[in-house]
Amino acid sequence: MNQEPKPKSGKKLRLDKILSHLGLATRSESKKLAKQGRIAVDGKTVKDSGLQVDPELSSIEVDGQPVRYREFVYLLLNKPQGVVSATEDRYDRTVVDLLDTEYLAFEPFPVGRLDKDTEGLLLLTNDGKLAHELLSPRKHVPKTYEAVVLGAVDESDGQAFAAGVTLDDGYKTMPAELEIVRNYVLDDESRSDIRLTIMEGKFHQVKRMFEAVGKKVIFLKRVTMGPLELDPALAPGQYRELSEDELRALRGE
């Protein structure tokens, strides 16, 4: 099982804050647990829930169970269709609604957005700095999509995308790389399976790029974002934590 990167040593936090951050107990509940002798630090029972503890250098147990502290959480989700990329929504189920309770205490949010009817790779985290780096327009983080397109996609479309196409609002896209996987006919309609790598993330960009060349996307799935690749073991709606290697790659280490 992959271990999480440890927080830097020397950072002391109140014991009740640690437990609250992890969603294990509120501050008042932590006070009660301590008074009942149910919290131990470095093997010794602690009666003061306000004790300052270094979560890396000290071992913490509640009811004999070890507590693993981490400041941030990084989740790789295979977003299903019909779910919105948001932390809350009045009408639709959100990607946060797919998470187990243990992760909700970290208040993770989606890094960028996938359309409601688009599926595939979505990163959720509470690391605002990393999210900003990935979403910064200056970074030009590559993103690869697989799509089914109505119409016969051909070499001329690839050339147009490589040169940049003008969208309906007048914006000209950055050069993109188009791979035609196959062309076929289904229900008397020409269709194409493609892979498209773009270096930006404008609203509905992939769909609008194909509209600019007279075609329509009917299925869309994101399979990469920067160094991250969608885990084929994850069914739509499933997720897992990033491995240490994935996290280091994401940070450019």
Q: Cite the active site residues.
A: 115
Task: Characterize the bridge pairing of strands 65-67 and 60-62.
Answer: antiparallel
| The two three-digit tokens of residue 81, written as one number | 């269709």
Length of the chain as a residue count: 253
CB 110 within 8 A of CB 122: yes
Q: Show the 3-state SS of the chain.
A: CCCCCCCCCCCCEEHHHHHHHCCCCCHHHHHHHHHCCCEEECCEECCCCCCEECCCCCCEEECCEEECCCCCCEEEEEECCCCECCCCCCCCCEHHHHCCHHHHCCCCEECCCCCCCCEEEEEEECCHHHHHHHHCCCCCCCEEEEEEEECCCCHHHHHHHHHCCECCCCCECCCCEEEEEEEEEECCEEEEEEEEEECCCCCCHHHHHHHHCCCEEEEEEEEEECCEECCCCCCCCCEEECCHHHHHHHHCC
